[in-house]
Structure 1
C-alpha cells in the first residue's frame, strides 16, 4: 500500500544523508502548486544552494513542453533542489547530468533495467519512471540560481492506471519497501558528486557516462521541433548534450527544450 503523506520523516532523511546532510536544507510540504515554482521564489529571495523542497502532492506540477506532471501522496516522490553556479557557468547538459545521478542512486538501491531517454526522462524497463525539469533565474550576487525539479513514480496509482494504462513504470515493480526518504537521500548524495563534476568540468566530463544508459541509441526515431518533424537514426550526444540524429539530409544536432523524440514503429 502507498505510504501516507503524513509519514514523511525529515529527520530520517538527515540521518540517511549522514555527513553530507550539512550540504542540504530539506523542507517538506503536504501540497503546493509546484516545488519548482516555490524554489524559484525562494531563490529570488536569497535561499542558498542545497535548499530542497519535497511535496506530497503538486497541484500544478510542470513537465517539459508545458505538460502537467502527475503526482499523488505516497505514490510518487516529487521534489526540487536549488543549486547555484557562477554566472559564467555553461549549463548545457545539466538535466542530462541529473539523470546520471538518479540512475546511479537507484542502481545502488538494487534497481536494474534503467535507462535515460534524451533529454530529461528516466526509464525503467522501457517505460517512463520519472523526469527532470531545470529552470534558471539570475541571482542577485553574480550567480545563477538553478532549480532542478525531479519526479519519480514509486507505486502504481489507480488514477494513473485509468489514464495511462501500462505506459508508465513504478519502482515497486522491481523492488518493494523503498521509502521516499531513502530514495530522496540516495539521489541527493549522488547529485552532490555529479554537480561537483559538472561545475568543474562541464557536461563533457559526464557525456560518456550518460551514453551508457542511452535508451534510444541506434533506433529509428522521429524528432519534432518548432512544428517540423524529421526522421532518422538516433546517434549519440556531443560534449554540450546535443543529440545527434542521422537523417536523409545529413547529421542533425538537436538541443533540448521544446523537442519531442519518439521511436518509430
Structure 2
C-alpha cells in the first residue's frame, strides 16, 4: 500500500514558524498564511498527530514545547563526499522510496526524511516516526556477489552507526544482535535491511536506519519496547551533522564490506556488544530460550551458552533478544 499527502504546504510553513520555540497567536499565523484561525487550529491538531509537542494556550496561541532542528539540505550537502541524496519532508517510508526507484539507483544513493507516514521496522512492525524529532535514513547498495554475500550486513551497519555516535561523544553506545543500537540498556536506534535478488543474481539492498534523537515522550504507547533518545547522553546532537557523518561513513564502510566481507567487522562488533557475557533470553515464535550471550560467530549468528554448558548458534529471523530479568 502506498500513502500520499495531497498538500502539506501550510503545515510545513507552520512547523517552520513554530520551530523557533516562540509563541504565535492563531490570529497572527492565520494572517501570515492567509487562512482562518479555525483552519490554523485544524492544522495544529494534525501536527500533533505527527508527533509534534505543540501546546495551545487560550488567548495566547501556540508554542512548540520540544524544539526541533529542521533538515538543512545546504548544510548536509556541503559535508558529503558524494551528493547523491534525496532530502524529503514527508514520505511513506525512506526504504519504500528507494525500493520504488531501485532499478535506477547507484550504490550509496540515499534518502532522508523529516517524517514517515508508514515507517516500518523488523517483521513488519510500525516504526513510529514523529516529524523532525529523529533521523530517518535509507541507503541503497548493490552487491554483485549475490544475496549470499549479504551475510552479517545488519550487524555491520550496527557497528558503523555505533562508531559514528562514538565519534560525536556518545561513548556509552552499544549494539544489540541482530539489528539494534542501545544506550543505557534501552533501544535508541534500529536497522531494517531489505534485499531483492535470487540466488546467483546481483543483490540489490536497501538499508533503513532510524535513530531516536529527541522524540516527544508522550508517544510511549506507540512503541513496543523500552526506548531512549540520544539527547539523554547529555550531548547536543546536530541532526544535519549526524546525517552527513553517517552517510559518509556508511559509504566508506559498505565498500569495505563489499571487498572484505563480514570478517573485517567481527572484532568491532564484539567491542560494542551490549549483551556479551550477560544472561539473556531469546523470544521465539512459541518458546523462550535462556542462556548467557557469548557474542557472535563468523556468520553473524548469536552464540548462546545454555544450562548444560554447551554453546548453540542462532540465526536471525523471528528471534528477539532481551536481558534476562532477575527474580
2:154 aligned counterpart, secondary structure: helix
Q: Say whether residues 1:76 and 2:148 are aligned partners.
A: no
Q: Indicate if the aligned counterparts of 1:99 and 1:116 stay in contact, CA closer than 8 A.
A: yes
TM superposition shift of 1:166: 9.9
For residues 200-211 of structure 1, what are the structure 2 equivalents within 5 Å?
A: 200-211=259-270
Alpha-carbon separation, structure 2, partners of 1:159 and 1:165: 14
Cα shift at 1:61: 0.9
Q: Secondary structure at the match of 2:104?
A: coil
Question: 2:301 — aligned with what?
Answer: 242
1:221 to 276, 280, 283: 280
Range moving further from structure 2, 174-183 or 158-167: 158-167
Under a length normalisation based on structure 2, what TM-score does the superposition of the two structures give? 0.73
Shift of 1:46: 2.1
| Equivalence map 1:56-75=2 (5 Å) | 56-75=114-133
* Residue in structure 2 matched with residue 114 of structure 1 by the alignment: 173
Counterpart Cα distance in 2 of 1:36 and 1:164 = 20
Aligned length: 257
> Is 1:263 the counterpart of 2:316 in the alignment?
no
Residue in 1 that maps onto 2:110 = 52
Deviation at 1:174, TM superposition (A): 2.1
- Quote the residue 1:254 is aligned against: 314
- Name whichever of 103-112 and 217-226 sits farther off: 217-226
In 1, Cα distance between the equivalents of 2:94 and 2:153?
18
CA RMSD of superposed structures (Å): 2.2
Aligned pairs (5 A) from 1:1-265: 1-3=66-68, 7-17=70-80, 20=81, 22=82, 24-43=83-102, 45-88=103-146, 90-138=149-197, 143-161=202-220, 167-248=226-307, 250-265=310-325
Q: 1:166 to 1:46 in 2, by over 3 A?
A: closer
Deviations 1:5-39 (Å, cap 9, x if unpaired)?
xx32222111122xx2x2x5111222221111121
Structure 2: give runs of 5+ residues left out of the alignment: 1-65
Give the deviation of 1:132 after TM superposition.
0.4
Cα 1:240–1:73 shift into 2, 3 Å: same
Between Structure 1 and Structure 2, whose CA radius of gyration is higher?
2
Query: Which of structures 1 and 2 has the larger relative contact order (alpha carbons within 8 angstroms, sep 6+)?
Result: 1
Give the C-alpha shift of residue 164 in structure 1. 5.8
- Runs of 4+ residues deviating >6 angstroms: none
Secondary structure of 2:88's aligned partner: strand
Alpha carbons of structure 1 residues 32 and 209: separation in structure 2 relative to 1, 3 Å = same
Q: Secondary structure at the match of 1:212?
A: helix
Which deviates more, 224-233 or 32-41?
224-233
Rounded Cα–Cα distance in structure 2 between residues aligned with 1:35 and 1:165? 21
- Structure 1: 5+ residue stretches without partners: none
Please state whether the residue corresponding to 2:101 is helix, strand or coil. Answer: helix
Deviations 1:185-243 (A, max 9, x none): 11112212321221111111110110001111111111123423211111110111111
SS at match of 1:122: strand
Conserved in 2, the CA contact under 8 Å of 1:54 and 1:78?
Answer: yes
- Contact 1:56/1:74 (<8 A) preserved: yes
